[in-house]
Structure 1
């Protein structure tokens, strides 16, 4: 198929790296013509979900320039470190302080102290005699597992009776049960004791809500709904501000409030830069069928890379994230099957000459993708001395091939098996593209071996992608407006298991998500070929997924909207109705 276009994609000379790449920005090119989109009948149309607040222009960003000065904040950090050295001598107190610091999203300021305490705790595991304190044992286990230590789940055997069941006397230990439930979220495959611990503590805590006082009930409800390991700390931090702080927690809360204002201001500046880039790119005006949600796309970057020092990486990561959504819309809502085959072939070969034969809208998209990939590669090469161009292109090719497989399935009207669907859906989730970009943008652990490993879907990526794909399918299945062209694992399961109900399928998907989490937890334990920052980014994608795909009856994403407003537009405040974890903090 050959469709003529008036846009030239001929590579320009003079770009120092990569060689023979086009250095022009997309916007000037887009201004040269007004493309006429092909009128060929579409093979399918799928109504995409959008955030209820629509395009970003409806939510103007007001930058907070009143954040505390760096020198004053650094002094506060040092003041708390001094308090920590005095108060944290007792093992349980030191662990509680680490927990509070992590929950309040300021752990990156104390990583050296956290590493030191947890290293000592891991070395003393065999000599620590606190087997009867469920809260302490479970907290130590969770913090060490989160840090990558392969602590044995056998530490919980001491809380079982002679028949192998958790002791009845634990039912009244609310703080211990909360700690046990939180610890169970870090289980890996084969750890039956943690599965039992999670079920046991969940049932007891859920039934206890009717007779607990308000403070304890809030503590329990927040832990059950948002267990720390599987939640974004930036989203749940507000629940851990105490309106009557005492002792060291008072100093820590003040520090966290100041940091929250500083980080909010930084994010607002980043958003302004992203919005300018998106406007200059021109895709929102030239590809009107595609989504226009740069704020939502930036949320992925902000969730993945939480350290304030990674500002440049967050901005750069938002660019490929946006292209995943744009290309997804091309495949799902606009392209004919013949056009999609040609587009995929161009991406496979990364063939600028062949792109001349694409429809105008696809040519525009490829032009943007080519420029973004080249610019990111150039920045990575300048900063880390490594050329990721080939790996990035291969990741995009894999994504488009997976999109095309789905297009062919649903154009033919034939559903694949559940196994086939999920294997392809892991790729089409876009997680691999995102994490490959993160790996190179971080510049940590760059080697030929790791480059090959990251390109071949290691388990740390495939497990994260499985969580996203299955969560997405659950959200789509609940949405009655979906026309079915996207397909889902739920749909495949119901077809393969005649007589099964939606609830049966939902339970199966929830079980598979739980299993994928276990694999992800395993991959984040040491030794790990990837950096801790990369591992945390993988975890954060999985943590972000429920916010991105939990649609309500009005087809909105209320949790995501709440999170965005609290991060970008609201000041930190302590609300009595949100108080929780009083006993911990």
Structure 2
């Protein structure tokens, strides 16, 4: 597109010159001289979506002018003081992996053939070594090459009684069997946990480190109301932590103890697959039972896939540069590389190159629109923008202030272009679905903007009913569905249109980990209360109790996800199911130590605020409540992954899990998104730029 920006009116495109765009930018950044920019009321904080309140019902939200309305009267534009982009475009475009070409492809095919033979031999033996081989292949990150072989092997494992496959007190193998079967969608009993609980009463087994670690990892694949897994999880966690502590001063603790420390930081089910593969490859080199064949292919495959990522990143970097949206607007985040990193966490399989490229565009628009609602737009302007998106009418652009015009036109063109490509590939008009994804998001943003403008503190439940959508998970995954499968079914479309439970549980965890890692700067510039504050306000709990509640919520949602991943397999493609889990994992990674996307760790995030406000709890109690919510949602996801398989493609199901994992990763140490956090940048370099050395 060069130095021009494509804009569509009716069925025609026209170009805005670079000079005109600069004039427009000057008008935007001088609001006092712009007749269209009269008011400013910021919207709720970062990256969210919602469907709960129609635009014509927004006025029904309790409204009392708050002190923030003075901002509106004074026509003051806030600044989030986002740090500038630290990625050099020339550096990104210069990336050129040597792991391309026919030589490496031939080498990879030979190694794959050898590994297939190894899998076949292990499957014929029907021994516990088969499970360990499958687990190693998965953790090395190349199981997508052997999906059929792994499925056939696990079909055999599932058909054999557990007692005939492994010894009664071989806790490592029994727990590994349970974990692999649950992970791949088999309905398997939780008896292993019951038996282990009985074993605890009879004797001490704390010396069986591998067995306890295997049970600990397996417990995170439990479903909701499988409470015995909670007891086993707590017992193994305490004993594993004690073992690590006692080994801390040893010069060579061994790989098993490194694995234990790694698992205690985050269990395998919550980890982002591609990031976990890099960690495991580097450590597998030093394992006593390392198999050179498996390691050689792991390094080669990782570097070949990285070459694909680099081409994807170069493409989206050029697109983002040519769009030039952040330069025109001036106030929004410039995080193109970080946006792409999210998609690597969601859809790591190299065959999903187009999905990564298109969803990077979606995330970039989510970020920009969020900054409009959160930082720059007035309440009246936000109502106009929401109305324009809802009508999806190019003529509505004339009612918008200048800065919103350029954003709406960019969104309109990009979305219609995606729909056009879908029409060519599948012969289906997807505009109604893509449009709905953006309408839901903007409505959710507007709900939160109205809450802020009126000074209204919602209850924890009220906040979460909107916030699980306003985190943007449903928008991203709704659009991704059409990019992850060639077999679009009516049942799957109906399930997604109604927001499948798996989508809800994964996005709920995404929201909660985002809130736990939200920055203080975000709160200081004016946001509605977060989950912890809502819980504290509602219940009277202190901060610690609120945090505990949030953690319980997260754990419960993981259990729901575990179940949903099974039930959704009949409807949704596996890639989509996986992507939802990976979304959750990525969120937990990014935000686990604060805000790895925005700025620094905040004191009292949104969900916590709502819980504190609703219950009167302190922040700690609200945080604990949020964590419980996340755990509960993981359990729901575990279940939903089974039920959704009949409707949705596996790639789609996987992407939802990966979205959750990515959120947990990004936010585990804070918001690694708003600030170009060094740890996040270092991780991007290790996954996308730097090859693994043999």
What TM-score, normalized by structure 2, do the two folds share? 0.76
How big is each residue's C-alpha offset from its partner over 1:195-226, in whole Å with a ceiling of 9 and x where there is no partner? 11211111110011133461132121011113
**Aligned equivalent of 2:686, options 556, 566, 584:** 566
Q: Given the alignment, which residue of 111, 127, 130 partners 1:91?
A: 127
Contact 1:294–1:322 (CA under 8 A) maintained in structure 2: yes
Task: Determine the C-alpha separation between the residues in 2 that align with 1:361 and 1:470.
Answer: 31
Question: Could you give the per-residue CA deviations for residues 490-515 of structure 1, whole angstroms, max 9, x where no partner exists?
Answer: 11112123352211111111000101
RMSD: 2.7
Q: Report the equivalent of 2:262.
A: 222
Following superposition of structure 1 onto structure 2, how do residues 158-169 of structure 1 map, counting pairs within 5 Å? 158-161=195-198, 167-169=202-204
Of 6, 18, 24, 1:34 maps to 24
Q: Which runs of 5+ in 2 are unaligned?
A: 1-5, 33-37, 43-76, 543-617
Give the 5 Å matches for 1:26-425.
31=21, 34-35=24-25, 36-37=27-28, 38-39=31-32, 40-44=38-42, 54-55=86-87, 57=89, 60=92, 62-67=94-99, 69-87=104-122, 89-125=125-161, 127-161=164-198, 167-212=202-247, 214-215=253-254, 216-241=256-281, 242-244=284-286, 249-425=291-467
SS across alignment from 1:535: strand
- Post-superposition shift, 1:254? 0.8
Match in the other structure for 1:540? 658
| 1:277-313 deviation digits (Å, cap 9, x = unpaired) | 1111121221111111111111122111111111112
1:521 equivalent to 2:638? Answer yes
Count of residue correspondences: 558
Shift of 1:478: 6.7
- Give the direction of change, closer, same or farther, for the CA distance of 1:117–1:341 in structure 2 (3 Å limit): same
The verdict on how the C-alpha distance between 1:196 and 1:96 changes in structure 2, with shifts beyond 3 A counting, is same
Question: CA 1:359 to 1:208, structure 2 compared with 1: closer, same or farther past 3 Å?
Answer: same
Distance across 2 between alignment mates of 1:482 and 1:125: 58
Post-superposition CA distance 1:251-296 (Å, at most 9, x none): 1111010111111111111111001111111212211111111111
Residues 530, 46 of structure 1: CA spacing in aligned structure 2 closer, same or farther, 3 A cutoff?
Answer: farther
Q: Distance in 2 between matches of 1:463 and 1:273?
A: 32
Please identify, of 491-500 and 274-283, the stretch whose mean Cα deviation from structure 2 is larger: 491-500
Which residue number in structure 1 is paired with residue 553 of structure 2? none
Structure 1's unaligned 5+ residue stretches are 1-6, 13-21, 575-585
Question: Does structure 1 conserve the Cα–Cα contact (< 8 Å) formed by 2:518 and 2:670?
Answer: no
How far is the alpha carbon of 1:82 from its aligned partner? 2.1
Distance apart, 1:483 and its partner CA: 3.9
Distance 1:435 1:134, change over 3 A: same
Determine if contact 1:150/1:526 at 8 Å carries over to the other structure: no
Work out the CA distance in 2 between the residues paired with 1:469 and 1:542. Answer: 9
Q: Where in structure 1 do 4 or more consecutive aligned residues deviate above 6 Å?
A: 25-30, 477-481, 553-556
Instruction: Choose between structure 1 and 2: higher strand proportion.
Output: 2
- Deviations for 1:450-508, whole angstroms, at most 9, x for unmatched residues? 21220111111111110011111111267797444153111111212335221111111
Q: Distance in 2 between matches of 1:178 and 1:379?
A: 47
Structure with bigger RCO (C-alpha 8 Å, 6+ apart)? 1
Alignment match, 2:506: 464
Contact 1:52 1:557 in 2 (8 A): no
Match of 1:3 in 2: none
Shift of 1:56: 5.1
SS in 1 for 2:660: helix
1:223 to 1:48, Cα distance in 2 relative to 1, 3 A: farther
Distance 1:190 1:478, change over 3 A: farther
**Displacement of 1:49:** 8.5
SS of structure 2 residue aligned to 1:43: coil
What's the TM-score, normalizing by structure 1? 0.89
